[in-house]
Amino acid sequence: MAKKSRKKAKKARQRMEAWAAQAQAFNGQGFGGQGFGGQGSGRAAGGGLFDGLSRLLPAGRSEQFLLGAALGAAAAYVLSDDELRGKLIKSGLSLYSGIVGGLEEMKEQVADIQAEMAAAPDGPA
């Protein structure tokens, strides 16, 4: 029992140290003055871009199983309910058509701006 609590305490201490290092790297230093991809990009040593996301997920196996079971049950419910599945598909299609329509509008505006620039008396800048 004591070994488990010591291991948990050690893991918690390591997480706190990693968090403190990341907070110190970002606090007041921005991105280290070297852009987004440089050595001093504000990340803790050895940590990746999405390193902090691992803390959002459950750590224990039983917690991961319960999360997976809950997500699976939710997916099974959504896929088995015809009315809910239809609503989801309709909303997905309307979202897709809205995005496509917005992109088409943006293309049209870019073409208009290009035509205006070409028609200017001094030509394109």
Q: Which of 9-13, 55-59, 69-73, 93-97 has the lowest mean pLDDT?
A: 55-59
pLDDT at 31 (0 to 100): 46
pLDDT digits (tens, 9 = 90+) for 9-52: 777 777 778 777 776 666 555 444 444 444 444 444 556 767 77
pLDDT band at 110 (very low <50, low <70, confident <90, very high): very high
Write down the pTM of the prediction: 0.39
Spell 16-30 as b/e; 16+ CB within 10 A means b: eebeeebeebeeeee
Answer yes or no: is pLDDT of 118 > 80.
yes
